[in-house]
Structure 1
Amino acid sequence: MFGKKKTNPSIDKEQLELLENAQKRIKQKKALYVHFIFFLIGSVLLIVANTVLGIGKEFTLFGKEWFLIAILVWLFFLIYHVFNVFVTNRFLGKAWEQKQMAKLVSKQQTRIEKIKSKLIKEETLLAESELQSEANENIEIKKTGLTIIVAASENNAIGKGNKLIWHLSDDLKRFKALTNGHHIIMGRKTFESFPKPLPNRTHVVITRQSDYKAPKGVIIVNSLTDALDASRSDSQPFVIGGGEIYKQALPLADTLELTRVHENFDADTFFPIVDENIWKETANTFHQKDDKHDYEFSFITYTKQ
């Protein structure tokens, strides 16, 4: 009697949806029933008004008494109401909506799996190419692990007004695949060009501003040396820009992931010229322009000789 808590019956989401749907169907059928009753009574009143009371007896439409046309029009709306309640709700109701949604979700999942498969394949080919190149060289090279990743045009343009000059979908996907899970080192202006920090990456921002404020998790440093020290737990940190940071990092990096856009552009930020006496090309994949890419481009990997 005392000390016992009353248990409230719970209704899960699916049961609640079924209950709400049943209540909705009851309301629809009640409305249809009322419509039918009014149709019967209204039809009788129209007939009596014309034939007994003589209202509008001389008025005809298309050679027929006006009340007959009125009843037919009303009958049309009644049939439409019946169709909407018993046909439309049955074949195009909530179950149909859920089925269509499931189809769309399935299509999106298939597309995502194709993109993942393509990225994994590209990474595998790139890794195999790098391993084969190292085997052919048969030289033990000491690596720092620092990698520069950049997209530059034929005239080494990389940006204008702190923005990219082009939009290459596959290049963005490659950038995401390579930098995912790593430290990315950048200048303040490059960081501020992002709408928000990139997911699943540790941002290391270089700035001379001593009181610079950044979102939680972003590491603020004052030099490239400090940035490398902050990234020492990562075996392959990436330098992602801008122009001055690239210039400082190039002598320290041992890998360069370059997307070469085969076009010349007007720009205010440029990448340093790649000295092929220092850098050896180990992989090169060419991409033609298509409906998603306005320019031809190549994915080129360089390693320091």
Structure 2
Amino acid sequence: MFGKKKTTTPIDKDQLELIENAQKRIKQKKSLYIHFVIFLIGAVFLILANTVLGIGENFTILGKEWFLYAILLWSFFFIYHIFNVFITHKFMGKAWEKQQLEKLVAKQQKRIEKLKSNLVKEETKIAKSDVFNATTSLSQNTTSKKHSPELTIIVAAAENDAIGKDNKLIWHLGDDLKRFKSLTNGHHIIMGRKTFESFPKPLPNRTHIVITRQSDYHVPDGVIVVNNLEDAIDAAKKDSQPFIIGGGEIYKQALLIATKIELTRVHATFEADTFFPEIDTNIWKETANTFHPKDEKHKHEFSFLTYERAH
């Protein structure tokens, strides 16, 4: 009842390109042939116009008839046409263009990889200068653990290590804020610029040390501004227990040299843009754990954890 549906053989991209190139070559050769015929007819016409019809018979250039120069000039264009069809196409065709493009792409890719490599090296160098210089400075200036300050990290982090979003706290836990105030009261608190700017005003009865690369950063009286963690620790050397209070990058650097972590672990996960580094239990030993259930003042369960560096 129904006729068989005709099937068509698909033409892939390479075959289509070959067909298009072949059609283009045919047009080029046809154009050259037409140019050749017109050139022959035109040359004969110029000679007859001068010798038979007498057009410009008295006009010469350097003692030669003008039509000779006209034919010579036309010959140049005709030879150029031949060169373009046969020579240029052969040595500068699609294959040549593809090869040149691949060379340029490879060259640019190599430059990009080199720039990436230099960037990684520079970032590593900066990180080492901030972190390892602080470590070296502490080890050189400390004769014994008994007389060295106990650098403590204090932080509240969710189960997925989230600590903040848009430079703001994600939760409000009254007892956690009370614990923070109790532990840091009377001490130096070290922080990054963004953490400091998240406060409405400096916290009372604490010495604020702000780390920033800005040379002209303005702060209220009593706030100390430094350029790196090493200088921050040096500014707090008279304090027996200075605290690191954020943000994420400062925590990451301080984790290499701190002696204690006071962590409020919020038992939930949150969307965030700032995270606390993962605690390596091979390095840090849990020494205290106090659980706090949800209640009318606290929307989330949480635990107060204390970690000390294992030796």
TM interval, shorter chain, is 0.5 to 0.7
Pair 1:232-2:247 in alignment: no
Instruction: Classify 1:239/1:230 alpha carbon distance in 2 versus 1 (closer, same or farther; 3 Å).
Output: same
Pair 1:183-2:182 in alignment: no
Q: Give the equivalent residue in structure 2 for 1:167.
A: 172
Q: How many residues align?
A: 166
CA offsets, 1:83-128, max 9 Å, x none?
xxxxxxxxxxxxxxxxxxxxxxxxxxxxxxxxxxxxxxxxxxxxxx
Instruction: Classify 1:204/1:141 alpha carbon distance in 2 versus 1 (closer, same or farther; 3 Å).
Output: closer
TM-score by length of 2: 0.52
Aligned match of 2:288 in 283, 286, 300?
283
Runs of 4+ more than 3 Å apart: 140-144
Pair 1:268-2:273 in alignment: yes
What is the CA distance between 1:152 and its match in structure 2? 0.1
Instruction: Classify 1:278/1:144 alpha carbon distance in 2 versus 1 (closer, same or farther; 3 Å).
Output: farther
The answer (yes or no) to whether the contact 1:203–1:217 under 8 Å persists in 2 is: yes
Residue type of the partner of 1:218?
A: V
Pair 1:201-2:206 in alignment: yes
The alignment-based identity, stated in percent, is 75
CA offsets, 1:217-276, max 9 Å, x none?
000000000000000010100000000000000011000000000000000000000000
CA offsets, 1:172-193, max 9 Å, x none?
0000000000000000000000
For structure 1, the 5+ residue unaligned runs are 1-139
What is the CA distance between 1:297 and its match in structure 2? 0.1
Q: Give the equivalent residue in structure 1 for 2:160.
A: 155
The answer (yes or no) to whether the contact 1:150–1:240 under 8 Å persists in 2 is: yes
The answer (yes or no) to whether the contact 1:184–1:239 under 8 Å persists in 2 is: yes
CA offsets, 1:11-58, max 9 Å, x none?
xxxxxxxxxxxxxxxxxxxxxxxxxxxxxxxxxxxxxxxxxxxxxxxx
Pair 1:210-2:230 in alignment: no
Q: What SS does structure 1 have at the residue aligned with 2:277?
A: coil
For structure 2, the 5+ residue unaligned runs are 1-143
The answer (yes or no) to whether the contact 2:162–2:270 under 8 Å persists in 1 is: yes
Q: Alignment RMSD, CA only?
A: 1.2
The answer (yes or no) to whether the contact 1:247–1:271 under 8 Å persists in 2 is: yes
> How far apart are the structure 1 equivalents of 2:252 and 2:195?
14
Q: How does 1:1-305 map to 2 (within 5 A)?
A: 144-305=149-310
> How far apart are the structure 2 equivalents of 1:141 and 1:156?
30
Q: Which has the larger radius of gyration?
A: 2
What is the CA distance between 1:144 and its match in structure 2? 4.5
> How far apart are the structure 2 equivalents of 1:257 and 1:205?
20
